[in-house]
Structure 1
Amino acid sequence: MKRVGSGEGPPFDFWPYFERIPKEDFEGFDCTEGQVDWVWRTEDGHFEHVLVNAREDSDVFMVLVLDRDSDSVLGHRLLNLKKEYGIDPQSVD
């Protein structure tokens, strides 16, 4: 995968999907500002992973997987890097 440059817009409007994500899928994190700093595209250009920042923690994102060929969202998941890698939040400076 390669990072998509900040000057490149999304391939289609995925925000209606984002707005329908159930509240419980955010696990208490707030991603409503809609800030996106990280987008990754597969080498063949078929898929993009869009990471929507959480307000409270710079290591938490709501990730949407976009199918660029069909202009559809395949799914989403909350990515909490501290939880993923077993980092104790109390020990992070």
Structure 2
Amino acid sequence: ANLKKMIGRAPAPLGNTPARRDAVYGDMWFLVPRGAKLFASEPHPFRDDDSAPPVATLQPQSPLVAAGTSCDLVIRMHYERDCTLTTY
């Protein structure tokens, strides 16, 4: 019963039954490639690119650095009791 609560299904071969998607523990890693544009505010959820206005404004949002990131960034999201983000 406890395993079912943790993984979201009865223990058995996975088959077509999806695993649990609402729990994250440990580390997740993300690669932000060189040249990616970073913004100070959350973008509008339906933006196609940085020419569309961000949430709650009517003006296009400028990236923090016009050319984008100067190198690849590796981001570690560590979740134990709290979430900690570390950029390398």
Higher strand share: 1
Same fold (TM over 0.5): no
Task: Considering Cα pairs closer than 8 Å and 6+ residues apart, tell me whether 1 or 2 has the greater RCO.
Answer: 2
Which interval holds the TM-score relative to the shorter structure?
under 0.3
Higher helix share: 1
Q: TM-score, normalised by structure 1?
A: 0.26
- Pair member with larger Rg: 2
